[in-house]
Amino acid sequence: MWEYYGITPSKEKVVVQRYDHTTSTLLYYRPIEEVAYNTEVSAGQWKRRLVDRPPLFIGGDAALAAYTAQLNYPLEAQERNIQGKVTIGFAIDTQGQASGYRVLRSIGGGCDQEALRVAKTIPNEWVPALVGTQPVPVEYELTLTFRLAQP
């Protein structure tokens, strides 16, 4: 069993997940605020609703940050002083597999393509969302920030 930790807003170190890699089983997760997700209610029909357990990246936000930290600021965006947030949406199915990556919020200057590239490097190590005890496909939104360093 592995334990993954996170830091609360009050700077307290807490367990955010316990995961058994031998059996591929999530044993515990620290609930966060309720968030509504687009969930697939029938083939091709999506509806925004609360889920009983959100989709979780194995290892928590800290593990996910290891991949999102690979973001490279495009030269075109730097030269044009483009800053902001790009949101990538993708589906996480009932098996925890991600697909259907697309840009939901764009800022241009090559940032959208870079955010899409980084999102696709994240391994398929997701625990699917649940409604009741049933895994459900959801659309996950990943926001990546492009900010120029201040001199």
Q: Which of 44-48, 76-80, 133-137, 138-142 has the lowest mean pLDDT?
A: 44-48
pLDDT tens digits, 11-53: 888 888 999 999 988 999 888 778 889 998 888 889 999 999 9
Statement: residue 150 has pLDDT above 80:
no
Q: Which residues contact residue 124 at a Cβ distance below 8 angstroms, ignoring those fewer than 6 apart?
A: 96, 97, 98
Looking at residue 151, its pLDDT comes to 64
Please check whether residue 57 lies inside any domain of the structure: yes
How many angstroms separate the CA atoms of 130 and 133, rounded? 6
Q: Residue 104 is part of a domain; what is its CATH number?
A: 3.30.1150
State what percent of residues in the chain have pLDDT above 70: 99
Residue 96 C-alpha from the chain's centroid:
12
Looking at the chain, which runs of residues are DSSP E strands? 2-7, 13-20, 25-29, 36-42, 45-50, 56-57, 84-92, 98-105, 126-127, 129-131, 134-136, 138-146
Please check whether residue 11 lies inside any domain of the structure: no
- Which pTM value belongs to this model? 0.86
Contact, 102 vs 90, CB < 8 A?
yes
Say which residue, 120 or 14, is predicted with more confidence. 120
Please check whether residue 7 lies inside any domain of the structure: no
Please check whether residue 30 lies inside any domain of the structure: no
Question: How many domains is the chain partitioned into structurally?
Answer: 1
pLDDT tens digits, 55-80: 999 998 889 999 999 999 999 999 99
| Tokens standing for residue 76 | 């075109």
Structural domain boundaries, residue 96: 35-146
